[in-house]
Amino acid sequence: MIDVDGLCKEYGGFVAVADATFAVESGEVFGVVGPNGAGKTTTLKMLAGLLEPTAGSVRVADLDAGDPEMRRNLGFLPEESPLYEEMTARSYLSFFADLYDVPRDVAEERIEGTLDRLELAHRDRKIGDMSKGMTRKVAIARALVNDPDVLIFDEPASGLDPRTTNYINQFVGELADRGKTVVFSAHNLYHVEDVCDRIAIMNEGEIVARGGLEAIREAHGRTAYHVYTTVPLEGSVRENGRHKSVVGDYEAIERIREAADEAGGRVIDVRTKGSSLEEIFLDLAGDGREAET
C-alpha cells in the first residue's frame, strides 16, 4: 500500500531525513518512533505529498505521493491541527465533505457514525469552545470524511489525557481492522507497543531499526536475570526481605548459587527480565547503525 525508497529531505545543508526505506502493507498499523527532531514529521509530510523529497520516492496505493489523485484516497492528521473555531463540529466536517465531493446523504451518515464512535457528544458546539481532546477527535473525523484507504496521523494523541489517548489508540486499531492502512508517529513508546504491527525507529533523520516489535526485541534487547538469595552476596541489594543479584547469563546464576551455598544460604527465586521497547529505543537512538528485523 505504501512504498518508500531512499527518501531524503534536505534544507540547505541540513539533512532532515536520510535514505529512509520501508513498506507498509494494507490493513497494517505502522509506527514511526523517535525523539523530537528525529525526522518523523518530515517523513510523514512527504508520505502525504505535502513536502517534495530531495531524493528518493514515495508511492501510496500505486500512485506517486505528489499525485493529486492519491490525496483523494488519503486522510492526514498533522500534529498541530488548527480548526475553524467559529464553526461547529457538524458544519466543519460537512464543509470538508463538500471539498471532497462526498454526496450530502453519504457525508451526513459518515460524519454521524464517526462522531458516534469517537463519542463526541457536543456536535453543535463551536470548535473554539471545545476541549483539546474534543478538537482532536474532530480533526480525526476530518481525516476520515472522504473514507480514505490510507491514514497518516502525526502524534494523534499529543497532549491528551490518558483516557482520551487510550480511546484514540483503540480507534486506530479498529481502523486497521476495517482494512485501513495507518501510519502514525509517536514519542510515547507505550502507545506504540499497544497498537502497532511494525515500527521504524528514527534518530537524527535516519532509520536505525525497523520491523516487528518482537523481532526488534529479539535482535536488540538484552536479557537480565534477577537472582534472589536468602543471604547477602557481593554486589547484591536487599529487596523485600531477600537479596537480589542481577546477572546476564546462566553461568553467573550458577556462580551465585555456589556462593550462596558457601555462605550458608540458598537461591530462592530467579526471574528473567527482557529489555522494554523504551530501553531498546534509548540504546538505538544513540547508535547510527540501521537494523532490519
156 and 45, same structural domain? yes
Which residues have CB under 8 Å from 125's CB, separation 6+? 88, 89
121 and 247, same structural domain? no
235 and 125, same structural domain? no
d(CA 31, CA 16): 18
- Report the amino acid identity of residue 94: S
Does 286 reside within a domain?
A: no
Q: Please give the residue range of the domain that contains residue 239.
A: 223-274
Residue 214 pLDDT: 82
Single out the residue in 186, 218, 250 at which a domain terminates.
Answer: 218
- Per the structure, how many domains does the chain have? 2
Q: What is the mean pLDDT of each run of 10 residues along the chain (293 residues)?
A: 95 94 95 90 95 95 89 91 92 95 95 92 92 92 94 87 84 91 85 86 92 84 90 94 92 95 95 80 62 47
Does 290 reside within a domain?
A: no
154 and 72, same structural domain? yes
110 and 246, same structural domain? no
157 and 47, same structural domain? yes
Residue 286 pLDDT: 61
Sign of the C-alpha dihedral computed for residues 168, 169, 171 and 176 taken in this order: positive
Does 144 reside within a domain?
A: yes
| Sheet with strand 206-212: strands edge to edge | 74-77, 150-154, 181-186, 29-33, 198-203, 206-212
Question: Taking a C-beta distance cutoff of 8 angstroms, is the pair 156, 136 a contact?
Answer: yes
d(CA 252, CA 277): 25
* CATH number of the CATH domain containing 38: 3.40.50.300
Sign of the C-alpha dihedral computed for residues 118, 122, 124 and 127 taken in this order: negative
* CATH number of the CATH domain containing 238: 3.30.1490
d(CA 217, CA 213): 6
Give the pTM: 0.79
Does 91 reside within a domain?
A: yes
Does 280 reside within a domain?
A: no
Residue 78 pLDDT: 93
100 and 66, same structural domain? yes
